[in-house]
């Protein structure tokens, strides 16, 4: 059912893009693809011949040659059509807005957004549209970025830090912010997105240029070969018509890959856009496919953004229930992510009745002590005089000692063990009326590796890609996380200078490096990397330095970007292999047909048993045109990529697309011949 729907959708797209394909017959457009341009010239020549010396055979060849050029244009038009649909959505989000520009004296002036200059300060209030790209310099607000990212949940943007960048066209939902404009009118993020997804700003990549040169060279060789045939044919007393020579040339040159090459490149960028990643150039997409080293930030990429409570360890004397209750109560006022994770963990060990009782202490008049950076503790003072505390081990130990208590050696041993393993120990203590304070146990906080990361790194290893974790943690913690995540190497206590040095070292060995980042301090490393992916939530400096922007701000998407890049390269290689391989069958169709009258022995090469020389030539030309249409879905969707080594990928490529490229034309040309051999003028 899905396959049928895909074919129906493709048919509709082909019909819809037919006018655009006709417009692309303009020689100023066609010459950009040398192979297709040769077919265009051949079509023009046969048209002249068909008009001056009309015949059913000449007109049939001419029409199918023009169809070949049209189908090539359609492949490109369908790929561009997808980008234009996305661009239309973006244009709908880009509205004409006004801005409240703030002067030096603090006064506000209403101006058109198009009049804003780099460095202007604008005030954006709730319900107003951000007039241009910039950085928040004052205030904090929730911003609706759905017009850009497609994500309906609002995000927080605030001055300072790595979440200060705002994009023109987004809407402030609450509070108010002051934005410093960082881009000129017409050069905003949305403007660049529109140009890129439409394909207007797409430049040919180095590999694409190299392949174009190869195809051009092959085409020139075949042009010379076909030109050399005519003198030999005249000498043999069997001069060939211009129509036959053009048909031979078009079937010999690699028209299939020449027609699909542009569509493959456009579709590669389109697949990234579908993953909400904006590539600033096709070169970046291609480089992603050749990456051999990935640099990944630990926090937010390999692990969740904040440490999480994973276990509660009781001291010998207190029971587990007392520790769980104390950890729960002492964390109710801790609004940090770590504090909330302790509440969640403790709640799983509490009966419903107990949890309801503990939640009621706030109503009973208990006093809660919030966590602060100064005290590094949180807790609660209950109405019956009981006090519970949870926090950093040294802070809680001082609290216990200050109230006349002692911390058991077993608790200190647990603290030391957790710290050595790279975790963060938090001590939980209680003080009841008339009793000395007691340390009940330890909460184990740790960076939790995201599910499935080890498997994904295993897939990257199978691709021949080396993974390096970047972290500011100490080497002990970094070693623990690296082992659990399954990365190949790590860089601990990393500074911006360390990142740059590592990237340059990797590149000196001839390897391509990819990394993610979101802060201003990441900008130098992003610029140095072959593939730099900036988070959309990051600073303008990071986005300007990178050659890709992830609109979802998901650092793990770098792995998907590499897969898409490899899929692009594999698709191009597979279709090139298929295109060159399927020429073999055309030799067996046309060469015998041209000279079988003069050299009857050539009939032995007519292994397909084609009816007549004319039907053989027409069948080969028709197949040459139709195979382009048949391969459009594959060029747009891409060849499915499975993580494997280069040798295995090459073997599969040759078996599927090399052997398949040889067999398919034999079958296709024979089936077409069964039909066209009954047409008039084919004898």
Q: Per-residue pLDDT for 398 more than 80?
A: yes
Q: What is the mean pLDDT of residues 179-206?
A: 67
The gap between the terminal CA atoms of the chain, to the nearest Å, is 43
What was the pLDDT predicted at 167?
A: 79
Q: Per-residue pLDDT for 152 more than 70?
A: no
Residues of each annotated binding site for ATP: 334, 338, 371-378, 390
Residues of each annotated binding site for Mg(2+): 518, 522
Choosing from 120, 144, 297, 554, the catalytic residue is 297
Q: What is the mean pLDDT of residues 22-38?
A: 88
Residue 296 parent element (H or E) = strand 293-297
Task: State the Cα–Cα distance between residues 3 and 33, nearest whole angstrom.
Answer: 31
- For residue 449, give the DSSP letter: B
Q: Per-residue pLDDT for 239 more than 70?
A: yes
Taking only the tens place, the pLDDT of each residue in 343-356 is 888 888 777 767 77
Q: Around Cβ 81, how many Cβ atoms within 10 Å?
A: 20
For the chain, domains (ranges, CATH) are 7-86+197-272+564-659 (no CATH), 277-302+450-551 (3.40.50.1000), 304-448 (3.40.1110.10)
Q: Among residues 563, 553, 559, 496, which one has the least CA distance to residue 528?
A: 496
**Which of 211 and 153 is assigned the larger pLDDT?**
211
Residue 115 parent element (H or E) = none
Rounded to two decimals, the pTM is 0.67
For 440, phi and psi rounded to 5 degrees?
Answer: -85, -25
Q: Per-residue pLDDT for 481 more than 60?
A: yes
Q: What is the mean pLDDT of residues 226-238?
A: 80
Q: What is the mean pLDDT of residues 220-228?
A: 89
* DSSP per-residue string spanning 387-418: EEEEEEHHHHHHHHHHTT-B--HHHHHHHHHH
Torsion of CA 443, 444, 448, 454, to 10 degrees: -150
Beta bridge partners of 134: 166, 181
Task: State the Cα–Cα distance between residues 440 and 407, nearest whole angstrom.
Answer: 9
**Which of 190 and 378 is assigned the larger pLDDT?**
378
Task: State the Cα–Cα distance between residues 21 and 198, nearest whole angstrom.
Answer: 16
Instruction: Put residue 464 in one of left, alpha, beta given phi > 0 → left and psi -120 to 50 → alpha.
Output: left
**Please, which residues have CB within 8 angstroms of residue 399's CB and are 6 or more apart in sequence?**
377, 389, 429, 437
Mean pLDDT, the chain, rounded, equals 81
What was the pLDDT predicted at 5?
A: 42
Taking only the tens place, the pLDDT of each residue in 252-285 is 888 989 888 888 877 777 788 778 787 776 677 8
SS3 451: coil
Q: Per-residue pLDDT for 592 more than 60?
A: yes
Average the pLDDT over each of 542-546, 549-553, 604-608, 616-620 and give the range with the smallest value. 604-608
- pLDDT band with cut points at 50, 70 and 90 for residue 372: confident
**What percent of the chain lies above the pLDDT cut of 90?**
8
HSE at residue 221, side-chain half, CA atoms within 13 A, is 9
452 to 303, 484, 488: CA distances (angstroms): 11, 11, 16
- pLDDT band with cut points at 50, 70 and 90 for residue 679: confident
501 to 290, 384, 678: CA distances (angstroms): 21, 59, 71
Q: Per-residue pLDDT for 200 more than 50?
A: no
Furthest-apart CA atoms within the chain: distance in Å: 122
Task: State the Cα–Cα distance between residues 42 and 515, nearest whole angstrom.
Answer: 48
Average the pLDDT over each of 4-8, 66-70, 207-211, 663-667 and give the range with the smallest value. 4-8
Taking only the tens place, the pLDDT of each residue in 38-83 is 999 999 999 999 999 888 889 999 999 999 999 998 888 877 766 5
Q: Per-residue pLDDT for 1 more than 80?
A: no
Q: Per-residue pLDDT for 334 more than 80?
A: no
* DSSP per-residue string spanning 106-153: S-EEEEEGGG--TT-EEEE-TTPBP-SSEEEEEEEEEEE-HHHH---S
Token pair recorded at residue 454? 């080890």
135 to 100, 148, 423, 540, 548: CA distances (angstroms): 15, 17, 35, 7, 19
Q: Residue 338 burial (CB < 10 Å; 0-12/13-18/19+)?
A: middle
Residues of each annotated binding site: 334, 338, 371-378, 390, 518, 522
Task: State the Cα–Cα distance between residues 65 and 44, nearest whole angstrom.
Answer: 9
Q: Residue 26 burial (CB < 10 Å; 0-12/13-18/19+)?
A: exposed
Annotation says 297 is catalytic: yes
What was the pLDDT predicted at 669?
A: 87
**What percent of the chain lies above the pLDDT cut of 70?**
85
Taking only the tens place, the pLDDT of each residue in 154-180 is 777 887 666 778 878 788 887 788 999
Residue 534 parent element (H or E) = strand 531-535
Q: Per-residue pLDDT for 438 more than 90?
A: no
For 254, phi and psi rounded to 5 degrees?
Answer: -75, 70
Angle 279-69-18 from CA coordinates, rounded to 5°: 70
What was the pLDDT predicted at 95?
A: 55
Task: State the Cα–Cα distance between residues 582 and 522, nearest whole angstrom.
Answer: 48
Beta bridge partners of 143: 155, 172
Looking only at the bridges linking them, the beta strands covering 171-172 and 155-158 are unpaired
Task: State the Cα–Cα distance between residues 26 and 16, nearest whole angstrom.
Answer: 19
Q: Around Cβ 479, how many Cβ atoms within 10 Å?
A: 15
What was the pLDDT predicted at 194?
A: 63
Q: What is the mean pLDDT of residues 130-159?
A: 76
What was the pLDDT predicted at 279?
A: 78
Q: Among residues 323, 553, 538, which one has the least CA distance to residue 443?
A: 323
Q: Confirm if 117 and 165 have CB atoms less than 8 A apart.
A: no
Token pair recorded at residue 90? 């973006």
Taking only the tens place, the pLDDT of each residue in 289-314 is 888 888 887 776 777 766 788 888 88
Task: State the Cα–Cα distance between residues 603 and 124, nearest whole angstrom.
Answer: 80
Token pair recorded at residue 217? 């060279």
* DSSP per-residue string spanning 252-284: HS-HHHHHHHHHHHHHHHHHHHHTTEEES-HHH
Q: Per-residue pLDDT for 199 more than 60?
A: no
Angle 533-537-542 from CA coordinates, rounded to 5°: 45
481 to 182, 421, 455, 661: CA distances (angstroms): 38, 9, 15, 48
């Amino acid at each position: 059912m899905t396959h049928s729907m895909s074919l129906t959708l493709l048919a509709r797209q082909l019909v819809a893009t037919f006018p655009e394909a006709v417009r692309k017959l303009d020689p100023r457009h066609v010459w950009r693809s040398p192979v297709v341009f040769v077919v265009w010239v051949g079509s023009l020549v046969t048209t002249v011949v068909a008009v001056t010396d009309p015949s059913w055979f000449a007109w049939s060849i001419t029409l199918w040659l023009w169809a070949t050029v049209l189908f090539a244009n359609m492949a490109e038009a369908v790929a561009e059509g997808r980008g234009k649909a996305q661009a239309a959505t973006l244009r709908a989000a880009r509205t004409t807005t006004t801005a409240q520009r703030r002067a030096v004296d603090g006064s506000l002036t209403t101006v058109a957004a198009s009049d804003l200059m780099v460095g202007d300060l604008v005030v954006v209030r709730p319900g107003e549209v951000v007039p241009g790209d910039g950085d928040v310099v004052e205030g904090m607000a929730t911003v609706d970025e759905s017009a850009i990212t497609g994500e309906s949940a609002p995000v927080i943007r605030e001055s300072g830090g790595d979440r200060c960048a705002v994009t023109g066209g987004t809407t402030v939902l609450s509070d108010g912010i002051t934005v410093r404009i960082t881009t000129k009118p017409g050069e905003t993020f949305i403007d660049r997105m529109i140009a890129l997804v439409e394909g207007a700003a797409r430049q040919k990549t180095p590999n694409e240029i190299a392949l174009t040169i190869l195809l051009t060279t092959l085409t020139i060789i075949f042009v010379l070969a076909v030109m050399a045939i005519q003198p030999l044919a005249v000498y043999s007393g069997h001069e060939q018509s211009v129509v036959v020579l053009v048909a031979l040339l078009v079937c010999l040159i690699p028209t299939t890959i020449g027609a699909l090459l542009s569509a493959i490149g456009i579709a590669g960028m389109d697949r990234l856009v579908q993953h909400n990643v904006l590539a600033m150039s096709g070169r970046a997409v291609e480089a992603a496919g050749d990456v051999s080293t990935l640099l990944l930030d630990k926090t937010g990429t390999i692990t969740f953004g904040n440490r999480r409570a994973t276990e509660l360890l009781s001291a010998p004397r207190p029971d587990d229930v007392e520790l769980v209750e104390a950890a729960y109560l002492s964390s109710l006022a801790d609004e940090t992510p770590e504090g909330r994770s302790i509440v969640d963990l403790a709640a799983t060990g509490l009966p419903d009745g107990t949890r309801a009782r503990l939640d009621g202490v706030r109503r009973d008049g208990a006093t809660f002590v919030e966590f602060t950076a100064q005290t590094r503790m949180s807790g609660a003072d209950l109405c019956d005089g009981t006090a519970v505390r949870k926090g950093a081990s040294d802070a809680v130990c001082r609290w216990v000692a200050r109230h006349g208590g002692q911390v058991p050696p077993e608790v200190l041993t647990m603290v030391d063990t957790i710290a050595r393993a790279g975790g963060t120990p938090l001590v939980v203590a209680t003080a009841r009326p008339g009793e000395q304070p007691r340390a009940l146990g330890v909460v184990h906080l740790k960076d939790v590796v995201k599910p499935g990361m080890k498997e994904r790194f295993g897939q990257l290893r199978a691709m021949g890609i080396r993974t390096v974790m970047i972290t500011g943690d100490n080497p002990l913690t970094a070693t623990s996380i690296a082992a659990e995540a399954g990365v190949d190497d790590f860089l601990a206590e990393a500074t911006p200078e360390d990142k740059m040095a590592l990237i340059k070292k990797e590149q000196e060995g001839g390897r391509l490096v990819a990394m993610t980042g979101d802060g201003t301090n990441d900008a130098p490393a992003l610029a140095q990397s072959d593939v730099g992916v900036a988070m959309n939530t990051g600073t303008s400096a990071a986005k300007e330095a990178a050659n890709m922007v992830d609109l979802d701000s998901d650092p793990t998407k770098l792995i998907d970007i590499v897969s898409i890049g490899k899929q692009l390269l594999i698709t191009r290689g597979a279709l090139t292999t298929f295109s060159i391989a399927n020429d073999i069958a055309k030799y067996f169709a046309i060469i015998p047909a041209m000279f079988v009258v003069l050299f009857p022995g050539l009939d032995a090469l007519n292994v397909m048993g084609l009816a007549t020389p004319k039907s053989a030539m027409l069948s080969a030309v028709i197949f040459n045109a139709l195979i382009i249409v048949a391969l459009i879905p594959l060029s747009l969707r891409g060849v499915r990529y499975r993580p494997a080594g280069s040798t295995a990928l090459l073997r599969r490529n040759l078996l599927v697309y090399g052997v398949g490229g040889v067999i398919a034309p034999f079958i296709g040309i024979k089936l077409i011949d069964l039909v066209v051999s009954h047409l008039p003028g084919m004898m």
